[in-house]
Amino acid sequence: MPVEDPLLLVCTNSKRDVCCALYGRPIATALNLWECTHTGGHRFAPTGVLLPTGHLYGRLDHQLAQRVVTEGIMADRCRGRSCFTPRGQVAEVAVRAQIGETRDVLTVVGETEDSATVRHTDGREWRVALTEQPVPPRPASCGKSPDIAIALVATAVDQLVEVCR
Q: What is the mean pLDDT of residues 6-34?
A: 87
pTM of the complete model: 0.89
Residue 119 CA to residue 127 CA, distance in Å, equals 9
Check residue 90 and give its pLDDT: 98
- Per-residue pLDDT of 33-72, as tens digits, reads 988 887 766 678 788 999 999 999 998 999 999 999 999 9
Given a cut of 70, whether residue 103 has pLDDT beyond it is yes
Local structure of residue 159 (DSSP, 8 states): E
Predicted local confidence at residue 42, as pLDDT: 66
pLDDT: which is higher, 19 or 31: 31
pLDDT per residue as tens digits for the range 123-148: 999 999 999 999 888 777 777 788 88
Query: Which of 40, 61, 57 lies closest to 48, judged by CA?
Result: 57
- β-sheet bridge partners, residue 126: 118, 159
HSE-up (13 A, CA, CB side) for residue 14: 5
Greater model confidence, 157 or 41: 157
Question: What pLDDT is recorded for position 149?
Answer: 83
Number of helices (H), then strands (E), belonging to the chain: the values are 4, 9
Residue-level pLDDT at 162:
84
Q: Is 6 helix (H, G, I), strand (E, B) or coil?
A: coil
Contacts 24+ apart (CB under 8 A), 133-138: 138/43
- More reliable by pLDDT, 37 or 80: 80
pLDDT over 80 (residue 160): yes
Split at pLDDT 50, 70, 90, the class of 165 is low
